[in-house]
Amino acid sequence: MTITRVTRRGLLRTGAVAGAGLALPTYLRAQESGFTNAPTGDTVTLGFNVPQTGPYADEGADELRAFELAVEHLNGGGDGGMLQTFSEKNLDGTGILGKRVEFVTGDTQTKSDAARAAAQSMIQKDGAIMISGGSSSGVAVAVQDLCQQAGVIFMAGLTHSNDTTGKDKKANGFRHFFNAYMSAAALAPVLESLYGTDRKAYHLTADYTWGWTQQESIQAATEALGWETVQNVLTPLAATDFSSYIAPVLQSGADVLVLNHYGGNMVNSLTNAVQFGLREAEANGKQFEIVVPLYSELMARGAGENIRGIPGSQNWDWKIENQLGDRYKGTNAFVKSFGEKYGFPPSQAAHTCYAQTLLYADAVTRAGSFNPCAVVEALEDFEFDGLGNGPTLYRGADHQCFKDVVVVRGKENPENEFDLVEIVEVTPTEAVTYDAEHPMFAGGNLGSCNPGA
């Protein structure tokens, strides 16, 4: 577990107890203030918990870049990015409620236990009042549960499992990123157009909460088209070589391989599939096809030319405002800020983490308080625009954001290493909206906000 403290004045701890000469543990502030880690000085600390090692480390690195940029903008640095385009005009570069924003970081290692330990350290030792991050839904679910118990807000980063805002939803947790059901709902009509209704699919699925719900969602959506599911094989998250899983596919009777993999897993499994000749193969009198329901520009870069023609979905794309206009305003402002600071365009992971940081800061400002229950009230059923996705709703029933979904495909003739994905279409919000008690999301209880006192 790695914890890094970032501040202009070095390591910060709580003040000494009068007459005792001992530091008061930050989590005990709840007894004095009514909520956990209430800021008492001129700064406020946020905790950013990302995979700095493990199969999702590339996504984690981009998330951390975005967090740093968001803090810079909140504190009045840089060009302000999406503070200038956000429909709410409460953030003015003076931090949050006049307190300068500082942050600590943790390495989730793409492991739930490590992620919980890092988050707990940030809350108890560093006084973090909000935790954000993710990349693995298993991590997100675990940390969201911890934050609920601790009485801090969890603004989920990259987490795509239905369970995050389904059976494992919590009152203190909020997700801006879309989910597996939304990916499948957006992707199915495109798959029908590309490959027809008479297909047999073989699934390789990451063996944890995201993989399970992604596979369930895309299977249901494609079977509704008329596709047949031949087999679903679970693969370990720690796997790096998928050759033994790819070899049986061509003898299975399937003519489509669905890779329910993300990050380095997807790069490696797609590479193995190409090495085994699946891109050139025929089955059932048809060209064999590969589908990756969720992928990013970062993954496309890792996969290289193997991503060409592969359909999938994204939460956001850095080219969307240029290609589809002002509905997606905020995109260009963010891309400009990010590109000037880091030298390349941001990923969807970076975008959702930047947006979540601004949304938290704005909710605190509108509420006039860092109290988690006030923040929850400010975010529930909150409608906003100008953060790159078009008009968006933070639904109160489950704390899930509802917005347009981007369907993409690997570009056949990319112009450069950052132009590997093309937008096929954007699916409108109403086409990916579902009832909060939909069977794929049922079984959970949002419960009540916990201020930690």
Q: What is the pLDDT of residue 54?
A: 81
Matching fold, domains 33-178+325-403 and 181-314+407-416+420-432: yes
Between 171 and 32, the more confident residue is: 171
CATH architecture designation of domain 33-178+325-403: 3-Layer(aba) Sandwich (3.40)
Rg for the chain (alpha carbons), in Å? Answer: 22
Per-domain residue ranges of the chain = 33-178+325-403, 181-314+407-416+420-432
**pLDDT band, very low/low/confident/very high, at 16 (cuts 50, 70, 90):** very low
HSE-CB for 12 with a 13 A CA cutoff: 22
Mean pLDDT across the stretch 322-339? 98
- One-letter identity of residue 295: Y
Q: Per DSSP, which regions of 315-381 are E strands?
A: none
Per-residue pLDDT at 30:
40
Instruction: Give the per-residue pLDDT at 34.
Output: 87
pLDDT tens-digit series, residues 266-298? 999 999 999 999 999 999 999 999 999 999 888
pLDDT for residue 8:
31
User: Domain 181-314+407-416+420-432 - what CATH class?
Assistant: alpha beta
Q: Which two three-digit tokens encode residue 328?
A: 């997606």
Percent of the chain with pLDDT over 90: 80
Predicted local distance difference test score (pLDDT) of residue 136: 77
Question: What letters, b where the CB count within 10 A reaches 16 and e where it falls short, cover 57-75?
Answer: bbbbbbbbbbbbbbbbbbb
Q: Which residues of 374-401 are buried (b: 16+ CB within 10 A; e: fewer)?
A: bbbbbbbebebbbbbbbebebeeebbbb
Angle formed at CA 278 by CA 276 and CA 282, multiple of 5 degrees: 130
Residue 242 pLDDT exceeds 70: yes
| Mean pLDDT, residues 313-319 | 97
Q: What are phi and psi of 70, to 5 degrees?
A: -60, -45
| Most confident among 23-32, 67-76, 114-123, 133-142 (mean pLDDT) | 67-76
- Neighbouring C-beta atoms of residue 30, cutoff 10 Å: 18
Type of residue numbered 344: F
**Average pLDDT of the chain, as a whole number:** 91
Strand partners, 265: none
Residue 167 burial class via C-beta count within 10 angstroms: exposed 0-12, middle 13-18, buried 19 and up: middle
Greater confidence (423 vs 56) lies with 423
At 421, which helix (H) or strand (E)? strand 421-427
* pLDDT, position 9: 28
Interatomic CA distance for residues 358 and 448, integer angstroms:
23
* pLDDT, tens only, 52-93: 888 788 888 999 999 999 999 999 999 999 999 999 999 999
The structure's pTM equals 0.91
Structure confidence at residue 59 (pLDDT): 85
What is the pLDDT at residue 1? 46
CA atoms within 13 A on the CB side of 71: 23
pLDDT higher than threshold 90 for residue 130:
yes
* Identity of the residue numbered 31: Q
Those residues with Cβ within 8 angstroms of residue 265's Cβ, 6 or more apart along the chain or in another chain? 55, 206, 235, 237, 239, 242
